[in-house]
Amino acid sequence: MIIILYIAALIAAVAFAVLVIFLARTLTAVRRTMNNVADTLEGVEKQMEGITLETTELLNKTNKLAEDVGEKSQKLNTLVDGVKGIGDTVQEFNQSIRSVSKGLTQSAHENTDTAAQAMKWGQVAINLWKKAKKEETKS
């Protein structure tokens, strides 16, 4: 019976040795994998730092651009107000010209006879002046 006990102990020792060998192999593979994961994470961390810096720069540029657009929008509003003022002035000027034109037209209609007489008298005066010039050149 002692031999069986020794054989059982020997089988247990061999089984334990095989278990230790396989466990050592597994742990070695796990260590390699964990080292690779650690290296990969370090690379990702460095890339994230670069992305963070670029994102910060992009955000700053976007903020500056937004401020610039706001300022230019204010200037454009001022320009639009100025153009509107010019448009209002031109419209008032046009209304004044229409008013004066209506007044002249109405006055011309009212004084048509007087204007016709003035034209006749003007023509007579021009004819007399031409006659006088002819007589002066003949003399």
Q: Can you give the pLDDT at residue 11?
A: 95
pTM: 0.42
Give per-residue pLDDT as tens, 12-66: 999 999 999 999 999 999 999 999 999 999 989 988 988 888 999 999 999 999 9
Buried residues in 76-96 as b, exposed as e (16+ CB within 10 A): eeeeeeeeeeeeeeeeeeeee
pLDDT of amino acid 100: 83
With contact defined as beta carbons under 8 Å apart, do 8 and 2 qualify? no
